[in-house]
Amino acid sequence: MRIHFLNVGQGDCVLIQTSDHRNVLVDTGGEETAKYVVDYIQASGIHVLDALIITDVNADHIGGLTSVLSGLGVSQVIIPDNTQPSPEYDQMVSDIVSRKLEHKIASESVMHSISDEVAFDLIWPPAIVKNRKGNDKSNASLILRAGFHDFIVLLIGNLKPESEGRLLASRQDLQSTLVKISIQNSRESISNELLQVIQPEYAIIPSENDYLGTENSKAKKTDNSIYNRLRAIGAQIYRTDDQGTVVVSTDGWVDVGVTAERGR
Q: Does any domain span residue 263? A: no
Task: Report which residue type is found at 33.
Answer: T
Domain total of the chain: 1
The answer to which of 8-22, 27-41, 117-131, 164-178 has the lowest mean pLDDT is 117-131
Q: Does any domain span residue 66? A: yes
Q: Tell me the average pLDDT of the chain.
A: 88
CATH for 114? 3.60.15.10
Contact (CB, 8 A) for 49 and 75: yes
Contact (CB, 8 A) for 29 and 11: yes
Q: Does any domain span residue 19? A: yes
Please give the residue range of the domain that contains residue 122: 2-251
d(CA 204, CA 44): 21
Q: What is the pLDDT of residues 219-242, one digit of tens each?
A: 434 456 788 889 999 999 999 999
Q: Does any domain span residue 164? A: yes
Q: Does any domain span residue 258? A: no
- Paired residues of 135 in beta bridges: none
Q: What is the pLDDT of residue 187?
A: 52
Q: Does any domain span residue 256? A: no
Q: Does any domain span residue 21? A: yes
Q: Across residues 89-117, what is the average pLDDT? A: 96
Q: What is the pLDDT of residue 98?
A: 96
Q: Does any domain span residue 264? A: no
